[in-house]
Amino acid sequence: MAYANVELIQALRRTAARLREGSDYQWGHLGMCNCGQLAQTLTGEDRHAIHAAALRIGGEWEDRVREYCPDSGQPIDAIIRAMLGHGLSTGDLADLEDLSDDRILRRLPSGRRYLERNQRDDVIEYLETWAALLEEQLRERLLAAGHAA
User: pLDDT truncated to tens, each residue of the chain (149 aa)?
Assistant: 899 999 999 999 999 999 999 999 999 999 999 999 999 999 999 999 999 999 998 889 999 999 999 999 999 999 999 999 999 999 999 999 999 999 999 999 988 888 999 999 999 999 999 999 999 999 999 898 886 55
The whole domain housing 93 covers 6-143
Cα distance between residue 66 and residue 4, in whole Å: 22
DSSP state of 33: S
- DSSP conformational letter for 72: S
SS3 20: helix
Nearest C-alpha neighbor of 97 from the set 118, 113, 67 = 118
Q: Write down the pTM of the prediction.
A: 0.94
CB neighbours (10 Å) of residue 58? 10
Helix (H, G, I), strand (E, B) or coil at 97: helix
In a domain, 10, yes or no: yes
- What is the tally of structural domains in the chain? 1
Please report whether residue 18 resides in a domain. Answer: yes
Contacts 24+ apart (CB under 8 A), 138-145: 138/4, 138/5, 138/6, 138/9, 141/4
Alpha-carbon span 106 to 64, nearest angstrom:
27
Would residue 149 count as lying in a domain?
no
Would residue 65 count as lying in a domain? yes
Residue 1 placed within a domain: no
Any domain includes 67: yes
